[in-house]
Amino acid sequence: MNSIRPLVKPLGLALAFAFAASFAGSAYAAPDLKIALIAGKTGVLESYAKETETGFMMGLEYLTNGTMQIGGRKIKVIVKDDQGKPDLGRTLLTEAYADDKADIAVGTTSSGSAIAMLPVAKEYKKVLVVEPAVADEITGAKWNKYIFRTARNSTQDALAAASTLKAGSVGFLAQDYAFGRDAIKAGKEALAATGSKANVVHEEYAPVTTTDFTASAQRLFDALKDKPQPRVLAIVWAGPNPMNKIADMKPERYGIVLAPGGNILPVMKTWKGYAGTEGTIYYYYGFPKNKMNDWLVAEHMKRFRSPPDMFTAGGMAAASAVYTALSKVPSANSEQLVGAMEGMSFDTPKGKMTFRKEDHQALQPMYHFRIKKNQKDEWDLLELVREIPASELPLPVQNKR
């Protein structure tokens, strides 16, 4: 009996150590990093939402080299559809923070829904990265310190457009909800901020679901037709764009030119008959020249047989902001994240963006485009007139922090 005791004891110790090591490994495995992505995947803006999700997931793939990990912790993305409804957006963000225990959230598509979500981030003291909603109030009057926005805001859109218009007369057509009214307010302020001598002679607001623009367009024509040249009808519209329908009414009879804001590729494909028309845009796949955009364009073409769109790039920008922040703060502690993200720069398909410390709005370039006359293929739509650097967009701080 005594002869086997020395064998038993070491074996028992070895098993004990093995068990302890196994237990410790499972007990102390780093928990997943949970990211909630809320988007309006149902409704009028569903195409925007789907692009955002695609760009966000491709962004995480690119940034993590396919591992979908940050600092050894697995990334879990929890996708929720708010259907563009403010009440549902608020409820889903509450669920994400309270039930899903999300470390950080991203969203959403509709400005109305995004505005409804802002107080939830403040209540739970959790970071919300806003993408792609653009209403100024998000980083303005409704802002709180947990809100960061990678999307451009209405004023950035407006300043870019205003930089191309030095004189003449302007009429605006927009949707009658937060996005549209916010955009036109920003447009008027931007003309003043850039020193433009153009006068706004009419503002026309139509219901979001409008399909007949006859009456609205005629009111704009009547307001513009006798005013100083150039006479510009600026269209600010989310979803199916009315440019073609308004163009069919022949505004050129009154010396009026259309100035469409940039839109998604399927919409801009229908503008081929308006070669030479100019506008400004947040992103077009052929404009930025950098490593991240090169990868995004090549991979998107390979996987979907089409180039990435505006909101695909926006989704990737949001992913980069989240990845950069969580790399700086592996614990995902909210207060530390806020501190790390204020003034933080991060790479995007548009190049470098920086969260301004005062209001957490991402400062970024915009693009002045012209619709191409000779389009080589179905996606060869725009030519670059000029990249408008962030330094030329005098973006005011609107949150009264």
The pLDDT assigned to 23 comes to 44
The pLDDT assigned to 183 comes to 85
The pLDDT assigned to 15 comes to 43
3 state DSSP class of 167: coil
| 265 plus 231 within the same structural domain | yes
Q: What is the mean pLDDT of residues 335-358?
A: 98
**Does a structural domain hold residue 135?**
yes
The dihedral built from the CA positions of residue 123, 77, 356 and 390, taken in this order, carries a sign that is negative
Q: What is the mean pLDDT of residues 256-285?
A: 90
Q: CB atoms < 10 A from the CB of 360, how many?
A: 27
Cβ–Cβ under 8 Å, residues 296 and 313: yes
| 72 plus 38 within the same structural domain | yes
Q: Which residue has the tokens 């809100």?
A: 147
| 382 plus 253 within the same structural domain | yes
Q: Which residue has the tokens 């004189």?
A: 167
Q: What is the mean pLDDT of residues 277-287?
A: 94
The pLDDT assigned to 30 comes to 82
The pLDDT assigned to 207 comes to 92
| 328 plus 266 within the same structural domain | no
**Does a structural domain hold residue 401?**
no
| 195 plus 275 within the same structural domain | yes
Closest by CA position to 245, among listed 216, 204, 278, 265: 216
Domain count of the chain? 2
pLDDT at 311 over 80: yes
Closest by CA position to 241, among listed 255, 256, 224, 261: 261
The pLDDT assigned to 354 comes to 98
33-87 pLDDT tens trace: 999 999 999 988 999 999 999 999 999 999 999 999 999 999 999 999 999 999 9
The pLDDT assigned to 86 comes to 97
pTM of the model: 0.85
3 state DSSP class of 369: strand
| 123 plus 270 within the same structural domain | no
Q: What is the mean pLDDT of residues 165-171?
A: 93
**Does a structural domain hold residue 78?**
yes
| 160 plus 264 within the same structural domain | yes
The pLDDT assigned to 243 comes to 86
The DSSP result for 324-339, as a single string, is HHHHH-TT--HHHHHH
| 255 plus 166 within the same structural domain | yes
Cβ–Cβ under 8 Å, residues 330 and 340: no
Q: Which two structure tokens, joined as six digits, stand for 206?
A: 């139509």
pLDDT band at 340 (very low <50, low <70, confident <90, very high): very high
Report how far residue 187's alpha carbon sits from residue 202's, in angstroms, rounded to the nearest whole number. 12
pLDDT at 17 over 80: no
| 303 plus 273 within the same structural domain | no
174-214 pLDDT tens trace: 999 888 888 899 889 999 888 889 999 999 999 988 999 99
**Does a structural domain hold residue 193?**
yes
Note down the domain range covering 199: 155-281+367-392
| 224 plus 252 within the same structural domain | yes
Q: What is the mean pLDDT of residues 17-29?
A: 48
Q: What is the mean pLDDT of residues 147-158?
A: 95
pLDDT at 395 over 50: yes
| 269 plus 371 within the same structural domain | yes
Burial 17-31 (b: 16+ CB within 10 A, else e): eeeeeeeeeeeeeee
Q: What is the mean pLDDT of residues 140-144?
A: 97
| 236 plus 381 within the same structural domain | yes
**Does a structural domain hold residue 136?**
yes
Report how far residue 211's alpha carbon sits from residue 114's, in angstroms, rounded to the nearest whole number. 26
1-14 pLDDT tens trace: 444 444 444 444 44
pLDDT at 19 over 50: no
pLDDT at 20 over 80: no
Higher-pLDDT residue of 282 and 8 is 282
**Does a structural domain hold residue 24?**
no
Q: Which CATH number characterizes residue 345's domain?
A: 3.40.50.2300
Assign residue 260 a region (left: φ > 0; alpha: ψ between -120 and 50; beta: otherwise): beta
**Does a structural domain hold residue 20?**
no
**Does a structural domain hold residue 15?**
no
215-266 pLDDT tens trace: 999 999 999 999 999 999 999 887 777 888 999 999 999 999 988 888 899 9
Q: What is the mean pLDDT of the chain?
A: 91
